[in-house]
């Protein structure tokens, strides 16, 4: 009878850790996607890429 | 992205559900240990995935030191983290199984101690990755991963010898020895399911790593353009 | 410019600088004494018991002393960009590594020579087994700690919180070596078992990890 508590605890811990970790990965992916979107929005406003020109010497 | 998230959540939840059902309802009750033995159907597959991940980390790190590709480094980072997660489950379910069955939470035998040391090594790998500054992270981490993996057989042999000298309680003698066919069936199915789950985690974490890396580069690019 | 000449030159430079300032040696000396005294308060065994536990205590004390020494291994090189100068020079990187490792090895050995008599006094230690065996174990074990420690110290100089980083990444990897040192020392002190396996294992550990360190040091030195 005592053993069942441990059994339940083991399965519960496993579910919590696996699903929790999955949630964490997905949350981070969402954050990265949001940051990327924000960055892409600001880029068109920037000047064209700087080019290196030889000095006229 | 939304689609990926829903698919992975559904898949992982389904796998966990199936494996739980198999382990809790389908598998026959064990003779001597009773129902507590069912932890075995989660415990061993988790361990298998963890060790597989650590091996992948070793190979990826070696490849990174050779090729210096972003992909191999991302795989190294991902596999280390996923491995630690599965190893954590292993190290928690183990004592939860041992306590009711053998009366002790833990013993310093070769297998358990090596697993703990493995966990410690890869946690310190993750800490190193977190604390290393800037561009050197990947190289330093990859170098450290080589050390870590090379250490494992040495750890195992050392503790094996230590324990023949100073015997102590042994737990879980041969889970695979003489497994009843009904149990073996559940065990193997769970093993396959956990491997699949591990792959899902690995692929997701790899993608995340690559995305974060790309974001960093994009930030750097944007900063350069801004300085036009 | 061979590896050997550069190694010797770098080593002599370090030793000479250390001899002139006596920075590290003094602090480590005092640290060693403190450790022995504190351990004596924590564990107050009889002569019989002390032989059983001394092995573990001594090596934990040596381990902490070694970490103190290792932490400042590369500190001197970072000031005035000496490390960068070394990277740019044609000198073989392994020479630098060997010089640092041998230097650390000598420092820690000196420390152990100072701490051991203190332990003998405070714990009334008398070895049942031959003392020369203890010396062999000490040499092998110290090299095991120092070779990985010097390498990881080089890794951790490029991290934040580098003082805590070093023990964090060094300890897990060193576990088999520590186990070997402690058990071998206990076996010799109590005379209850033969330390042969541990001596072999420590030798294997030293060879394997010295090789890995030499192989990877150049990569780590040039990591940018």
* Residue B194 lies in domain: 2-26+36-168+180-212
Angle at C81 between CA C76 and CA C87, to 5 degrees: 105
Q: Chains with 3 or more CB pairs closer than 8 angstroms to A?
A: B
Judge C/B contact: 3 or more CB pairs < 8 A.
yes
Q: Which of B65, B63, B60 is nearest to B75 (CA)?
A: B60
Does B124 touch chain C if contact means CB atoms closer than 8 Å? yes
Residue B133 falls inside a structural domain: yes
Question: What token pair was written down for B172?
Answer: 């879980």
Q: Tell me if ipTM is over 0.95.
A: no
Contact of B195 with chain A, judged by CB distance below 8 Å, is answered with no
CB B114 within 8 A of CB B159: yes
Q: What is the pLDDT of residue B174?
A: 47
Residues of B in contact with A28 (CB under 8 A): 208, 212
The per-residue pLDDT for C210 is 94
Cβ contact B22:B189 at 8 Å: yes
CA distance C154 to B62: 19
Kindly report the number of other CB atoms within 10 A of residue B189's CB atom: 18
- Cβ pairs B/C, distance under 8 A: 92
* Nearest chain B alpha carbon to A5: B36
Q: How far is A4 from chain B (nearest CA, A)?
A: 6
* Cα gap C7→C10, rounded to integer Å: 5
Q: Say yes or no to pLDDT of C72 above 70.
A: yes
What pLDDT is attached to residue B221? 84
Task: Please name the residue of chain B whose CA is at the shortest distance from the CA of residue C167.
Answer: B124
Establish if B217 belongs to a structural domain.
Answer: no
pLDDT at B172: 54
Q: From CA B109, how far away is CA B155, in angstroms rounded?
A: 11
pLDDT score for B208: 94
Nearest to B73, CA basis, from B204, B183, B226, B210: B210
Complete DSSP assignment for C11-80: HHHHHHHHHHH-HHHHHHHHHHHHHHHHHHHH----HHHHHHHHHHHHHHHHHHHHHHHHHTTTHHHHGG
Q: Which of C198, C186, C61 lies closest to C140, judged by CA?
A: C198
Q: Using one digit for the tens of pLDDT, what is the confidence trace for A4-53?
A: 888 888 899 999 999 999 999 999 999 999 998 888 887 765 555 555 55
CA angle C103, C143, C102 (to 5 degrees): 15
CB of A52 within 8 Å of a chain B CB? The answer is no
Instruction: Produce one character per residue of B58-67: b if its CB has 16 or more CB atoms within 10 Å, e if not.
Output: bebbbbbbee
- For residue B90, what are its two tokens? 């292993």
Encode B189-203 in three state secondary structure: HHHHHHHHHHHHHHH
Q: Which of C56, C99, C73 is nearest to C170 (CA)?
A: C73
Q: Where are the domains of chain A?
A: 2-43
Phi and psi for B30 in degrees, rounded to 5? -75, 150
For residue A44, give how far its alpha carbon lies from the nearest alpha carbon of chain B (Å).
10
Partner residue facing A18 (CB), from B12, B24, B214: B12
Choose among C180, C201, C216: nearest Cβ to B146.
C216
Cα A10 to Cα C19: distance, rounded to the nearest angstrom: 58
CA distance A53 to B16: 60
Give C200's pLDDT tier (boundaries 50, 70, 90). Answer: very high
Say what the pLDDT of residue C193 is: 81
pLDDT of residue B171: 58
Looking at the DSSP bridge assignments, the partners of residue B30 are: B34
A32 vs B211: CB contact, 8 Å cut-off? yes
- 3-class state of residue A47 by DSSP: coil
Number of domains in chain B: 1
Q: Is B63 on the interface with C (CB under 8 A)?
A: no
Instruction: Show the CA angle centred on residue A35, arms to residues A30 and A38, nearest 5°.
Output: 125
- The pLDDT tens digits of the residues spanning C75-128 come to 777 776 777 777 788 878 888 899 889 988 998 898 888 888 888 887 777 777
Q: Which residues of B touch C168 (CB under 8 A)?
A: 124, 127-128
Chain A closest-CA separation from residue B29 CA (Å): 12
Q: Which residues in chain C have Cβ-Cβ distances shorter than 8 Å to B120?
A: 171-172, 175
With b meaning 16 or more CB within 10 Å and e meaning fewer, what string describes A7-30?
A: beebbebbbebbeebbeebbebbe
Is B95 a member of any domain? yes
Identify from A29, A36, A42, A44 which residue to disrupt to test chain B contact, counting B C-beta atoms within 10 A and taking the largest count: A29
Does the CB of B104 have a partner CB in chain A at under 8 Å?
A: no
For residue A29, give the nearest of B20, B96, B208 by CB distance.
Answer: B208
Distance CA C35, CA A29 (A): 48
**Inter-chain CB proximity B12 and A15 less than 8 Å:** no
Judged by 3 or more CB pairs under 8 A, whether A touches B is yes
* pLDDT at residue C1 in the model: 61
Whether this model's pTM surpasses 0.80:
yes
Residue B176's pLDDT is 46
pLDDT of res. C201 = 92
pLDDT digits (tens, 9 = 90+) for C162-197: 778 888 889 999 999 999 999 999 888 888 888 888
Using one digit for the tens of pLDDT, what is the confidence trace for B135-159? 778 888 999 999 999 888 888 888 8
Taking the domains of chain C in order of start, what are their residue ranges?
Answer: 3-222
Q: Tell me which residues of chain B have a pLDDT lower than 70.
A: 1, 133-134, 167-179, 227-228
**Confidence at residue B77, expressed as pLDDT on a 0 to 100 scale:** 95
Contact B151 C155 (CB under 8 A): no
């Amino acid at each position: 009878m005592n053993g069942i508590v441990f059994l339940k605890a083991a399965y519960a811990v496993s579910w919590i850790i696996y699903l929790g970790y999955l949630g964490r990965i997905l949350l981070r992916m969402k954050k990265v996607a949001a940051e990327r979107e924000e960055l892409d929005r600001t880029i068109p406003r920037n000047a064209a890429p700087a080019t290196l020109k030889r000095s006229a010497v | 992205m939304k689609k990926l998230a829903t698919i992975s959540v559904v898949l992982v939840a389904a796998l966990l559900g199936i494996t739980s059902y198999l382990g809790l309802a389908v598998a026959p009750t064990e003779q001597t240990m009773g129902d507590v033995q069912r932890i075995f159907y989660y415990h061993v597959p988790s361990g298998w995935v963890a060790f597989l991940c650590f091996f992948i980390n070793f190979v990826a790190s070696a490849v990174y030191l050779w090729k210096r590709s972003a992909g191999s480094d991302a795989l190294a980072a991902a596999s280390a983290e996923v491995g630690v997660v599965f190893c954590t489950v292993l190290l928690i379910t183990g004592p939860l199984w041992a306590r009711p069955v053998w009366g002790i939470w833990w013993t310093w035998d070769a297998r358990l101690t090596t697993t703990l040391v493995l966990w410690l090594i890869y946690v310190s790998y993750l800490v190193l990755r977190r604390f290393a500054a800037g561009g050197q992270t990947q190289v330093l981490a990859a170098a450290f991963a080589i050390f870590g993996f090379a250490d494992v057989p040495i750890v195992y042999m050392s503790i094996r010898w230590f324990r023949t000298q100073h015997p102590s309680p042994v737990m879980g003698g041969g889970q695979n020895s003489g497994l009843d066919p009904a149990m073996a069936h559940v065990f193997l199915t769970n093993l396959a399911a956990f491997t699949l789950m591990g792959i899902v985690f690995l692929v997701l974490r790899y993608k995340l790593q690559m995305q974060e890396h790309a974001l960093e580069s994009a930030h750097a690019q944007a900063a350069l353009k801004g300085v036009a | 410019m061979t590896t050997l000449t550069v190694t010797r030159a770098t080593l002599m430079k370090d030793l000479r600088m250390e001899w002139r300032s006596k920075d590290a040696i003094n602090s480590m000396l005092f640290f060693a004494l403190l450790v022995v005294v504190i351990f004596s308060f924590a564990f107050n065994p009889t002569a019989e018991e002390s032989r059983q536990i001394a092995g573990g205590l001594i090596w934990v004390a040596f381990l902490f002393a070694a970490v103190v020494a290792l932490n400042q291994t590369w500190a001197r090189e970072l000031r005035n960009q000496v490390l960068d100068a070394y990277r740019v020079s044609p000198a073989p990187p392994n020479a630098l590594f060997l010089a640092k490792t041998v230097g650390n090895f000598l420092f820690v050995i000196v420390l152990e020579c100072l701490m051991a008599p203190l332990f003998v006094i405070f714990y009334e230690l008398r070895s049942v087994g031959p003392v020369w065996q203890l010396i062999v174990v000490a040499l092998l074990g110290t090299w095991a700690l120092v070779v990985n420690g010097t390498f990881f110290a080089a890794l951790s100089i490029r991290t934040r919180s580098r003082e805590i980083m070093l023990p964090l990444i060094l300890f897990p990897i060193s576990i088999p070596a520590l186990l070997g040192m402690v058990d071998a020392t206990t076996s010799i002190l109590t005379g209850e078992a033969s330390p042969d396996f541990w001596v072999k294992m420590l030798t294997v550990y030293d060879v394997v990890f010295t090789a890995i360190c030499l192989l990877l040091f150049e990569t780590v030195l040039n990591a940018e």
